[in-house]
Amino acid sequence: MVVLDAIGMSDIDFTGARSLRQVLDELDRRHIMVAIARVGERVRRSLARAGLLARIGETRFFASVNEAVTAMRPEET
């Protein structure tokens, strides 16, 4: 699992979106889940324009890092 803490991000430009897409591709190949925490509306809009919001999935956006980790952690058996 990877949780990206987006609190310091104010925007994602074309190059950033392309780089994030490449990282997501690699994480998908490795079967690693991705979540994003503390993302602002401007960054969310940038992700939507780049098609990354839909790719990551609305259910993988969280208000805090702890919330993301707790939600994404595999259930213990």
| Domain at 2-72, CATH homologous superfamily | STAS domain (3.30.750.24)
State pLDDT tens for residues 7-51: 999 999 999 999 999 999 999 999 999 999 999 999 999 999 999
Cβ atoms of 34 and 2 within 8 Å: the answer is yes
Instruction: Give the Cα separation of 44 and 26 in Å (integer).
Output: 22
For residue 4, give the nearest of 41, 33, 37 by alpha carbon.
Answer: 37
pLDDT, residue 73, reads 85
Query: How sure is the predictor about 61, in pLDDT bands with cuts at 50, 70 and 90?
Result: very high
Residue ranges of domains in the chain: 2-72
